[in-house]
Amino acid sequence: MTRLSAAILANAPAGVAVPNYDRSQITPGIVHLGIGAFHRAHMAVYVDDLLRDNPDWAIIGASLRRPDTKEALEPQDGLYTVAVRDASGTHPRIIGSILKVLDANTERQELLELMASPQIRIVSLTVTEKGYCHDPATGELDQRHPDIVHDLANPTAPRSAPGILVEALARRKAAGIAPFAVMSCDNLPCNGATVKRIVQKYASMMSADLGQYVSTLAFPGTMVDRIVPSTTDADRATLAGFTGMEDAWPIMTEPFTQWVIEDHFPQGRPPFEKAGAQLVEDVEPFERMKLRMLNGSHSTMAYLGYLAGYEYISDVMGDADFVKLIHGLMTEEAMPTLDMPGVDLAAYRDQLLERFRNPALKHRTWQIAMDGSQKLPQRLLGTIRDRLKSGQPFDRLGLGVAAWMRYVVGIDEKGENIDVRDPLAMRMMAIAADAGDDAEALYEGLVGLAEVFGSDLPGSQAFGETVATHLDELFEVGVKEAVKEVVEEGTAS
């Protein structure tokens, strides 16, 4: 079978869309850190839509951790397939907006030089929550993070995202080149302001002057949304059968896509709005809506669903009690905390439920369950804090938090091990081992993780009563029964 590459673009298989521009005419304007599946299904597609009329905005990607994306895309001249899937079928499109991928570990100086060059006017990031080396509860730089400690000692050979950004900005400043805008596309609350705070702190630890310089730069916030499950070998095989072409790393995704961007790009930007993005003054309400409605539901379904034996989100949606739980979580508990004039939240909720149901999207509960310690604060705990403030109940959200606590114990209802992936996994496992069978002790141990629960929630009686009671139920009656009980109580009240 022929491997996807620039040579076959002119004779692409029927039914496969190809770039509508000449790839030899495009030049880079964006460096993207963290060139994973999400970026390739989202921003790279928007840019692909725009390159014909804006050829100086192509992307050079960098992987900060593993060389696998570079290894997959290099023999394909940076090309890959995005396959949009739903009940109507599979719709493949070849994306050409990524010119090249650099491996930050082996090509660090090349990456820094590129980021310091005047043609790069935007540096965007999807490095996941943990890639910012911050404390998720406070949003501050974690100064004891091993990568930060390393980078402060070796500033010209950084390995963390903040370290790489600051070194590149310092080189531009020294050379008198205008700074790039830093655009985070991660699911962090107030991602622009949060990343600015982290990067500015790191820069100020390098020198007061650099800290002051970073304080003047543009960090536009964004709300990004597209569901992108990890690609499996089965996906590769299915797609190859469909296109008759081998692609080492195609991306499977849903038809829906949304991008809301704060319009703050002093060195210019591609006309993202022409590709469907919304440019706004303040992105924060959109981020909060998405984190609390979509991601809050996702995480709740991931922990409860995994424990109940559901492999995919679409399986969870086949269980009527789970659907009622998620519907109630959004309607009764999340929506009242959102202030979104002009947005029909009930319609947004219904659209989310429809997206979760997509039978063609194999989105693993285990994938979403990853890195819960970094995700819980903005997905569930912020909503709970608002509910606590107004004295309102939060039973469904509380069950979601309890399910996370039950999950990180690392043993499922059948006594089998769970592969818990989380930067705090070792600490959580030690807490679980100390607690043994005692659900109350487990609650007390986990709620003491200040990076997750801050300093307020451990002392909240209402929080403790709701979450510890649900945790106990999860052990006593099992997940499906616990969900049923919450749903029935919700209907009665």
368 belongs to the binding site for ligand CS2 (CB under 6 A): yes
Cβ contacts of residue 374 below 8 Å, gap of 6+?
Answer: 128, 129, 130, 136, 422, 423
Q: Which is nearer to ligand CS2, 166 or 301 (CB)?
A: 301
Helix axes 395-407, 439-447, angle to 10 degrees: 100
Residue 128 or residue 204: which is nearer to ligand CS2 going by CB?
A: 128
- We find the least distance from the C-beta atom of residue 300 to ligand CS2, in angstroms, to be 10
Compute the least distance from the CB of residue 223 to ligand CS2, in Å. 9
User: Minimum CB separation from ligand CS2 for residue 187, in Å?
Assistant: 5
Regarding 254 and contact with ligand CS2 (CB under 6 A), the answer is: no
Task: Give yes or no for residue 374 binding ligand CS2 (CB under 6 A).
Answer: no
Amino acid letter at 153?
A
For residue 424, give both structure tokens.
């705090």
Q: How far is the CB of 479 from ligand CS2 (least distance, A)?
A: 19
Nearer to ligand CS2, 73 or 185 (CB): 185
Tally Cβ neighbours within 10 Å of residue 391. 7
Q: Does 288 bind ligand CS2 (CB under 6 A)?
A: no
Positions in 378-417 near ligand CS2 (CB under 6 A): none
Task: Return the residue of 187, 191, 358, 383 that touches ligand CS2, per CB under 6 A.
Answer: 187
Q: Closer CB to ligand CS2, residue 42 or residue 197?
A: 42
267 versus 367: smaller Cβ distance to ligand CS2:
367
The interface region with ligand CS2, picked from 65-73, 224-232, 304-312, 438-446 by CB under 6 A, is 224-232
Burial track 178-207 (b if 16+ CB lie within 10 A, e otherwise): ebbbbbbbbbbbbbbbbbbbbbbbbbbbbe
Cβ at position 312, least distance to ligand CS2 in Å: 13
* Cα separation, 293 vs 101, whole angstroms: 34
Q: Examine residue 226 and tell whether it contacts ligand CS2 (CB under 6 A).
A: yes
Residue 442 interacts with ligand CS2 (CB under 6 A)? no
Can residue 225 be called a binding residue for ligand CS2 (CB under 6 A)?
Answer: yes
Shortest approach of ligand CS2 to residue 314 CB, angstroms? 13
Beta carbons of 81 and 247 less than 8 angstroms apart: yes
Site membership for ligand CS2, residue 235 (CB under 6 A): no
Per CB under 6 A, the list member of 26, 104, 165, 227 interacting with ligand CS2 is: 227
- The distance of closest approach from Cβ of residue 433 to ligand CS2 in the complex, given in angstroms and rounded to an integer, is 27
Binds ligand CS2 (CB under 6 A): choice among 121, 196, 201, 298: 298
In whole angstroms, the minimum distance from the beta carbon of 254 to ligand CS2 comes to 9
Verify binding: residue 367, ligand CS2, rule CB under 6 A.
yes
Minimum CB separation of residue 280 from ligand CS2 in Å reads 18
Which lies closer to ligand CS2 via its Cβ, residue 379 or residue 406? 379
295 binds ligand CS2 (CB under 6 A): yes
CB-based contacts of 310, cutoff 8 Å, min separation 6: 316, 319, 365
Of the pair 151, 315, the CB lying nearest ligand CS2 is at 315
Between 52 and 66, whose beta carbon lies closer to ligand CS2? 66
Stretch that binds ligand CS2, among 223-231, 325-333, 407-415, 433-441 (CB under 6 A): 223-231
Tell whether residue 39 is a contact of ligand CS2 (CB under 6 A).
no
Give the residue nearest to ligand CS2 (CB).
298
Site for ligand CS2 contains 231 (CB under 6 A): no
Q: CA 466, CA 333: separation in Å to the nearest integer?
A: 14
Distance CA 440, CA 276 (A): 49
Q: How many residues bind ligand CS2 (CB under 6 A)?
A: 10
Contacting positions for ligand CS2 (CB under 6 A):
187, 225-227, 294-295, 298, 367-368, 375
